[in-house]
Amino acid sequence: MKPSISRAADVLLGGGVIAYPTEGVYGLGCMPNDAGAILRVLGIKHRDPGKGLILIASNKMQFDDWVSLQGTAIPDPDTSHPITWIATARPGVLPLVTGHRESLAIRITTNPVAAAICDAVESPIVSTSANRTGEPVARNCIVLRRNFGACVDYIVPGDCGPASGPSEIRDLKSGKVLRPHKS
């Protein structure tokens, strides 16, 4: 395991918040069962807790404790066009993650750094874009460090990609597009 991934895992498992590359933008993340860390992420972003958060994982099995698929299956990820799926949350998922809804946003990440972090903590992680509400997202390390270096416990080195922006959002049961892909 790379030292940067090991350090990211230690920070996450210790209740910290990290910034890291995802498919299209840099993200802010923490463990999805740590209310204190989630509150920090929401505070850093100035995000309304009622909006909920996305969980990313390296594989479908990491979502077993988080969503009830009820006869549906999470499609395999598309490397060039990431899709976040809205699925039914299992009982016990923190309302800070779901935004007090019965649903949960999930995505299987195709970014190798983000996937390695999920593998290292053996869990999905919270993933929300590295920006303050209403401001542009961080798409390069310089902006990320300038805007979030003092706010997070660790910035994981690596590049975003292979997508060019935030993911599309779809309902898992119906396939309906709720937010189109943004480049």
pLDDT at 161: 83
- Cα–Cα distance, 43 to 53 (Å, whole number): 13
Q: What pLDDT, in 10s, does the model give residues 155-166?
A: 999 998 877 767
Looking at the chain, the whole-number percentage of residues with pLDDT higher than 90 is 71
What the chain holds in terms of domains, given with CATH numbers, is 3-179 (3.90.870.10)
Q: What is the pLDDT of residue 141?
A: 85
Rounded Cα distance between 172 and 175, Å, is 5
DSSP string for 79-105: TTS-EEEEEEEPTT--HHHHTSSSEEE
pLDDT tens by residue, 77-126: 876 788 899 999 999 999 999 999 999 999 999 999 999 999 999 999 99
pLDDT band at 70 (very low <50, low <70, confident <90, very high): confident
pLDDT score for 59: 96
Which pLDDT score, from 0 to 100, does residue 61 have? Answer: 95
Token couple for 10: 């230690």
| DSSP code of residue 136 | P
